[in-house]
Amino acid sequence: MYGSGLNKPLDGLSEELVNHLNTSGATIISIDTPSGLFIESSSLGNAIINAAYTLTFQCYKLGLLLQENAPFIGEVQVLDIGLLPDFLNQIISTAELLDEPKVRKVFKPRSRFAHKGTFGHALMIGGSYGKIGAVVLATKASLHSGAGLTTALVPKCGYEIMQVSAPEAMVIVDEMETHLTKLPDDIEKFTAIGIGPGIGTNPDTQKLLSFIIRRYRKPLVIDADGLNCLALQKDLLQQLAPYSILTPHPKEFDRLFGEHQNDFERISTAKQKAAELKIIILLKGHHTYVALPDSNGYFNSTGNEGMAKGGSGDVLTGIITSLLSQGYSPKDAVLLGAYIHGWAGDFAAQKYSKEAMLPSHTIECLGNVFIQLQEKI
């Protein structure tokens, strides 16, 4: 069915036709975009074709990249129809698709790195009673992404769990049994810090976050309940070190920056806040979006539905923190991290299926990704 990029909801006969087709049980293939879908703004609530496949021309359009449109667009295939690059650049002005050639430029093979002597020391801060697995996953992801040293800071109830699960990691233990309360000594010595996985929102823990933000003057990676702690003390947003990295999913995003009606609005806010606060915001979704302080943005092109499982975000946090610790710039760490996270998940889906694959499998498949990246192409 031929789709148009109009910004007026379908009505009358068109609406009836769309509803009829959607309930017909037929497999619908949309050309360009599904009928009724807006590509530059939200069309939620309107009558829209539920395509199983969308064949679009030359490049992705914004509406084909957003989570909220997933039910309408099905599997998207981009067809090359020979448009001029200049014309293309007009279409996607504010967001680029993060693809393999871009990532290969960012990636620095370890042998070159070695010239700089060290791969840094990453600190993963997370965990609370019943949610230690989250920081275990983040820590293992950091280890499997190349950090020279990885230390985990966990509450007492996480001590044995972490040491059994990740023998290569060192562990600093908060004296509180159930949640984190205290700043460890010498946090300045860590090359990079990621905070949030499974950390909870206990007032003590909120306080800990605020201490870290004020004391550790390098960019932090903040995720999950770390973001929820931040949302409970929004003044801290102003105090974040430049190029700090926030990695919210849409609900966490709304807690931080207010309710949004749809993903179009969220992306607009993300851009604005990244510039205003001089931070990097990675908004998770169908295609994860990265907003940079310089007003540029990227949609990630890797990953799959098998990653829609608890723990995926923790793995991403560990990867980005590990890359930061190895000397990647915050921008490069986020872009490379988001891309290889999705790529490893794509390997895992192939090996274990989208249903059975777990974030642990994604971690395990990071090796496959790095082996691919090292190969000259």
Contact by Cβ (8 Å): 20, 28:
no
Q: State which of residues 45, 371, 376, 377 lies at the interface with its own copies (CB under 8 A).
A: 371
In whole angstroms, the minimum distance from the beta carbon of 160 to its own copies comes to 6
Cβ-based burial of 225 (10 A; exposed 0-12, middle 13-18, buried ≥19): buried
| Distance set, CA 373 to CA 101, 109, 206, 343 (Å) | 10, 8, 39, 11
For 46-83, give the DSSP string: S-----SEEEEESS--GGGT-GGGHHHH-EEEEE----
Cβ proximity to its own copies, 131 vs 273, nearer residue: 131
* Contact partners, residue 96, CB within 8 Å, separation at least 6: 102, 296, 297, 298, 299
The letter for the amino acid at 259 is E
**Rounded CA gap, 221 and 247, in Å?**
8
Q: State which of residues 92, 265, 309, 332 lies at the interface with its own copies (CB under 8 A).
A: 309
Which string of x and - marks every residue 160-189 that binds its own copies (by CB under 8 A)?
xx-xxxxxxxxxxx----------------
**Rounded CA gap, 70 and 37, in Å?**
11
Range 45-84, binding its own copies (CB under 8 A): 50, 70-71, 74-75
Q: State which of residues 143, 208, 224, 237 lies at the interface with its own copies (CB under 8 A).
A: 143
Q: State which of residues 102, 104, 182, 354 lies at the interface with its own copies (CB under 8 A).
A: 354
Per CB under 8 A, 358 contacts its own copies = yes
**What phi and psi values does residue 221 have, to the nearest 5 degrees?**
-105, 120
In whole angstroms, the minimum distance from the beta carbon of 318 to its own copies comes to 12
Per CB under 8 A, 22 contacts its own copies = no
Length of the chain, in residues: 377
* Contact partners, residue 47, CB within 8 Å, separation at least 6: 9, 10, 11, 14, 15, 18, 19, 36
Q: State which of residues 34, 311, 313, 342 lies at the interface with its own copies (CB under 8 A).
A: 311
Q: State which of residues 110, 189, 215, 217 lies at the interface with its own copies (CB under 8 A).
A: 110
Per CB under 8 A, 327 contacts its own copies = no
In whole angstroms, the minimum distance from the beta carbon of 98 to its own copies comes to 19
Q: State which of residues 190, 328, 339, 370 lies at the interface with its own copies (CB under 8 A).
A: 370
* Contact partners, residue 260, CB within 8 Å, separation at least 6: 250, 253, 254, 266, 269
Furthest CA-CA distance within the chain: 69
Cβ proximity to its own copies, 210 vs 350, nearer residue: 350
Per CB under 8 A, 360 contacts its own copies = yes
In whole angstroms, the minimum distance from the beta carbon of 275 to its own copies comes to 30
The residues that touch its own copies, with contacts defined as CB under 8 A, are: 50, 70-71, 74-75, 109-111, 113-119, 129-134, 136-137, 143-150, 157-161, 163-173, 305-306, 308-311, 351-360, 366-371, 374
